[in-house]
Structure 1
Amino acid sequence: MLITGRTLRSLPVLAVAALLSVQLLAPYATAQETGRTVSVGTGEPGYAVNLFGPGEVTVNAGATVTFENPWFEPHTVTFYGDTEPLAPSDPTAPVPTNPGEVVEYDGTSFLNSGFLFEDPFQVTFPDEGEFPFVCIIHPGMAGTITVVAADEDVPSQAELDAEAEAIFAQALDGLKTTAGALAAQPISEQANADGTSTWSTAVVGGLFGPSDVQQFFPASIDVGVGDTVVWESTVPTPHTVTFPAGPPPFPEDMMDPLAEETFLAASGPNDAFGGSGFVHSGVIGLDWPAGQSYEVTFTAPGTYQYICLLHADQAMVGVVNVSADDDDAEAQATPTAPATPAPGPAPTGNAGLDGSGGGNMVGMLAVGALVLLTGIAAVAARRRTAR
């Protein structure tokens, strides 16, 4: 390079420009370095961990926190601020207040991610303070962002990840212990006057803290033609007992989570099933529209697979084997894993029920349908725009 007088005269200007560039970029670099990521639940086939990982997070003022959901179970990240809490079944729960935006939050307004699936939810905290947040649809799933001065030391992302891993591993161990206890419960047989039997109670789902066992117990039951099976759900998590029309793979549009008839209406109080037609419980569980129990009488021999429409992506599947000979009838226990595998996505995403092997998210709770039915007016009444 040829050094000229003009070049020498330009050096102070270039030096100042370089210095200004460093100073201007420094806050951006700091914000990037102090940003943190929080896992919104996790799970594996048959289990949904409804906890934030971790729930207590300390960041510097100006940091952006990214919330990511790695599993199929829907969640919200909701900051109530000065507003009143929503019920889990509120039709506005799945609706984001600021879709697609990185929101700067001061702690006073209502801020909601809506149902969080593939896209992350990002919130920037410019001010020091404590900012509690919850998942609306999973009571007990809560956390707090604590914001401290920009020059204070805060836990690294690696430390947060290690804490989250420990939290999730403990929850999965507890869920599997719960599943083992549910699987060990006997299912009773009551003889009917006509020679058939009523089998009860098959269990739909289970709880460990705020987290869910997404399974039927027993997973497989052998009954005779004319026998009746009674399913019961005593947990607040919504579930369905659904025998789709025809054998698997089941058509994807049949499992549309926004279909009113799928989530709000039972096909009958005491249904009969012989391998054809759509037989469905509606949404059952504590405080859900179709009550807590559902029964089906089986009219023809065969092997019939049924699903929870809300949690098919999490492999919530059961089987009823109907024999022409009632002497073959018995309840089979649900096998449970002896150890907790590393959390990760289900191998098919939907238990292969629609034949796609993909992650079609049918775990949209019944409130998803209610949003469309209620309309935008109800949503607008609750929305608050975060500053």
Structure 2
Amino acid sequence: MDKFSLSKSGQNRAMRRIFKRIPKASLLFFLVAGLFGLPMAISATTPTPQHWIVYVGGQAMSGNTMIMTMGYFPEIITIDVGDSITFVINSTEPHTITFLSGNPPLNPFSPQALAPIGGSVYNGTGIVSSGLLSQGQNYTLTFTKAGVYVYQCLIHPGMMGVVIVNPAGTPYPMTQAQYDQLASQQSSQSLASGLSLLQQVNLPATQGPNGTVIWHVDVGQQTPVSTEVTLNSMNSKVSGSAILTMTAPGVLTVQVSLTGLLPGETYNVGIFQGAAEAGGKSLYNLNPVVEASNGTGSSVTTLTLPPLSPFIPTSFGIPSAGWYINVSNSGNAVAAGDIIFPVSSVMGFLPNTLTIHAGDTVVWTDVDPDEVHTVTFVPQGMPIPEFGTPTSLIPTKSHIFNGTGYYNSGPMIAGVSYNLTFVTPGVYTYVCLLHDGMGMVGTIIVLPSTPSSNPQATLLSKQMSELNNTLNSLNSQVSQIGSLTSQVGQLNSQVSSLNSQVSQIGSLSSQISSLNGSQASYENSVNSKISSLYSLLTVLIVLVVISLILNVVLIARRR
């Protein structure tokens, strides 16, 4: 028997010992698994699909006025294939969750836009929509294909969100708790922008024909289109910012500023649909940025944009999410940032209560590009019409309000106005038929016509008031000037006093100089007298000496 046979025999004995130690049930399992090809690796198990929540809209009250956020929160969410999202309607304003997949938008005024389409599974193709949902209703959708999907509300142009779907098993960037926190921050920011609108309304009256006054009321309001985008670096040192501002209906100005640019390089900039972190398709090319000095550069581009909805001609703006700015160099993306526009709508008439006189006219103008409204006076005893019925959709012909009857503007979109002239004193309440349940109610108080209600007198009174305010301001300034003059007089008096004191000091200096002169003269006189005394004393001493010498000589002769 050769070595190979011995070795093989030993291996067989070893294998028999191993199999004897394995339970028979386990052997049976391995046998069945081998026969039917069952997967054995634990690591190959399919990931468990996750469930996520996105909040649709939001609201807050300011006095009697409702503020509505027009967005999906979080505005961008990242999930995996097989996961599902439940969209929770978070306001009394109805919305849709609609994935168009590149198909033409639906007419928001058609019954098709209000009905569910496509079921509860989305594979990235076709139209899938929740239909019109109200507060308390939810919509759950399961995503079966990786991609970047932008969705929208059919009845609110510009209300958009993004779902990024990664392959199954991809780690999630955030937890649901983190998304909830982000959603709260984004919703609060949007509501704050809406609340600020209430402090910006100032609609002065104008003089009308035949001694009347024309008053103006805003129907709804929306956040002005302006937002700033942070451009984050992507595998480069390039970063910066962009400011987007709608300077006129359909006219968008984009100012881009970049740092970290390579010397002499040109960078292409564009607006894309999708998400900065996942990519998308190009929408608009912006002017390129050329490195100017110190690695910096900027560009300004003016774009002419179509309405966000072709069915609402005045729906100019930028979406709440779903757009981003991309910066590239030599075909490689070097910086990008999502365009997030926290937009809100005011569901109210501004001013909410207006006091006028009989004969005056009120003009209502819809200024919210996202909302349809009505101005409707419903007489006492008549039920408020349901919007969508002929009564709610057809404008009434008369524009003279006599205090009785039904008056209706019909549906109003941004830029549309409606006017009524009030001839009968009284207190009249009106509503928006779409949003009366949200407190969109206004009041017109009509006082009897009086001479003081004459617009010329009113305007003259206003001018006199403004003149009085100006005179009061001038008087205040004159008083301040008088006060300053008094202070100057006091300063002059103090200066005169100081000058007098200086003069006294000069006089004292003169006296001191005189005294110094007198002292010098006196000292000279004394010195002169002392000199004379010294001379006399010298003479006396000489005489004494001579006398002594003579006496000595006389004594010597006598001897």
Q: TM-score, normalised by structure 2?
A: 0.49
Residue 293 of structure 1, CA deviation: 1.0
Contact 1:222 1:328 in 2 (8 A): no
- Distance, in Å, in 2 between the alignment partners of 1:258 and 1:293 is 20
- Distance, in Å, in 1 between the alignment partners of 2:198 and 2:111 is 31
Paired position in structure 2 for 1:110: 127
Question: Is residue 282 from structure 1 mapped to residue 375 from structure 2 by the alignment?
Answer: no
Residue 169 of structure 1, CA deviation: 0.7
Q: Among residues 394, 399, 408, which one is paired with 1:270 in the alignment?
A: 399
Contact 1:187 1:199 in 2 (8 A): no
Paired position in structure 2 for 1:192: 209
Contact 1:240 1:282 in 2 (8 A): yes
Residue 269 of structure 1, CA deviation: 5.3
Contact 1:205 1:212 in 2 (8 A): yes
Paired position in structure 2 for 1:126: 144
Contact 2:53 2:86 in 1 (8 A): yes
Residue 150 of structure 1, CA deviation: 3.0
Question: Is residue 292 from structure 1 mapped to residue 426 from structure 2 by the alignment?
Answer: no
The total of aligned residue pairs comes to 294
- Distance, in Å, in 2 between the alignment partners of 1:235 and 1:314 is 16
Question: Is residue 44 from structure 1 mapped to residue 60 from structure 2 by the alignment?
Answer: yes
Give the aligned residue type for 2:217: A
Paired position in structure 1 for 2:189: 170
Paired position in structure 2 for 1:217: 350
Contact 1:68 1:116 in 2 (8 A): no
- Distance, in Å, in 2 between the alignment partners of 1:144 and 1:234 is 27
Question: Is residue 317 from structure 1 mapped to residue 448 from structure 2 by the alignment?
Answer: no
Contact 2:108 2:114 in 1 (8 A): no
Contact 1:226 1:297 in 2 (8 A): yes
CA-to-aligned-CA distance 1:273-329 (integer Å, 9 cap, x gap)? 31x21111111123xxxx711111222221111111111122111111111244479
Q: Tell me, what secondary structure is at the counterpart of 1:153?
A: coil
Q: Choose 1 or 2 for highest CA Rg.
A: 2
Alignment gaps of 5+ in structure 1: 1-8, 14-22, 331-387
Contact 2:385 2:391 in 1 (8 A): no
- Distance, in Å, in 2 between the alignment partners of 1:135 and 1:59 is 21
CA-to-aligned-CA distance 1:116-155 (integer Å, 9 cap, x gap)? 1132111101222222211122222111111123323222
- Distance, in Å, in 1 between the alignment partners of 2:361 and 2:216 is 11
Paired position in structure 2 for 1:151: 169
- Distance, in Å, in 1 between the alignment partners of 2:390 and 2:116 is 21
Q: Tell me, what secondary structure is at the counterpart of 2:48?
A: helix
Contact 2:401 2:424 in 1 (8 A): no
Structure 1's 159 and 328: CA in aligned 2 closer, same or farther, altered over 3 A? farther
Paired position in structure 2 for 1:238: 372
Q: Tell me, what secondary structure is at the counterpart of 2:193?
A: helix
Paired position in structure 2 for 1:257: 387
Residue 87 of structure 1, CA deviation: 4.3
Residue 91 of structure 1, CA deviation: 4.4
Paired position in structure 2 for 1:96: 116
Contact 2:359 2:449 in 1 (8 A): no
Alignment gaps of 5+ in structure 2: 1-23, 29-41, 226-342, 459-559
Give the aligned residue type for 2:214: W
- Distance, in Å, in 1 between the alignment partners of 2:352 and 2:453 is 17
Residue 192 of structure 1, CA deviation: 3.4
Contact 1:240 1:281 in 2 (8 A): yes
RMSD: 3.0
Structure 1's 294 and 198: CA in aligned 2 closer, same or farther, altered over 3 A? farther
Paired position in structure 1 for 2:429: 305
- Distance, in Å, in 2 between the alignment partners of 1:245 and 1:215 is 20
- Distance, in Å, in 1 between the alignment partners of 2:349 and 2:386 is 21
Give the aligned residue type for 1:160: Y
Higher percent of residues as helix:
2
CA-to-aligned-CA distance 1:42-81 (integer Å, 9 cap, x gap)? 1124211110001211112211111111211121111111
Residue 258 of structure 1, CA deviation: 2.6
- Distance, in Å, in 1 between the alignment partners of 2:67 and 2:453 is 31
CA-to-aligned-CA distance 1:6-37 (integer Å, 9 cap, x gap)? xxx99xx9xxxxxxxxx9xx97x933xx2101
Give the aligned residue type for 2:189: Q
1:347-358 mapped onto 2 (5 Å cutoff): none
Give the aligned residue type for 2:194: L
Q: Using CA pairs below 8 Å that are at least 6 residues apart, which structure has the higher relative contact order?
A: 1
Q: TM-score, normalised by structure 1?
A: 0.69
